């Protein structure tokens, strides 16, 4: 299963792969159940993983900055 595949949620690189997978599913109604689209699915999964890792890294960085600001302000008020 994939997360929501709405285009506004992903990078252009992943959007291309999303369209590719959707097209494969549309062209291979039965074949998609037999693994015809597995290659496109694996590519998309890798791309979504990179996006998720990048989001995680950005969230971590923002959290570290917020923690540093809170420590700095608590030292100044004490």
For the four alpha carbons of 8, 14, 20 and 23, in that order, the dihedral sign comes to negative
The answer to whether 28 touches 35, Cβ cutoff 8 Å, is: no
Reference 5, options 39, 53, 56, 48; nearest CA is: 48
> What pLDDT, in 10s, does the model give residues 19-78?
999 999 999 999 889 999 999 999 999 999 999 999 999 999 999 999 999 888 877 665
Reference 44, options 23, 19, 25, 27; nearest CA is: 19
Amino acid 73: pLDDT: 81
Q: Is the pLDDT of residue 3 over 90?
A: no
């Amino acid at each position: 299963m994939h997360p929501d595949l709405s285009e506004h949620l992903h990078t252009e690189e992943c959007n291309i792969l999303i369209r590719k997978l959707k097209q494969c599913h549309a062209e291979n109604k039965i074949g998609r159940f037999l693994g015809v689209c597995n290659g496109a699915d694996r590519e998309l999964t890798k791309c979504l993983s990179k996006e998720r890792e990048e989001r995680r890294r950005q969230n971590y960085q923002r959290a570290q900055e917020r923690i540093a600001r809170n420590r700095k302000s608590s030292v100044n008020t004490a």
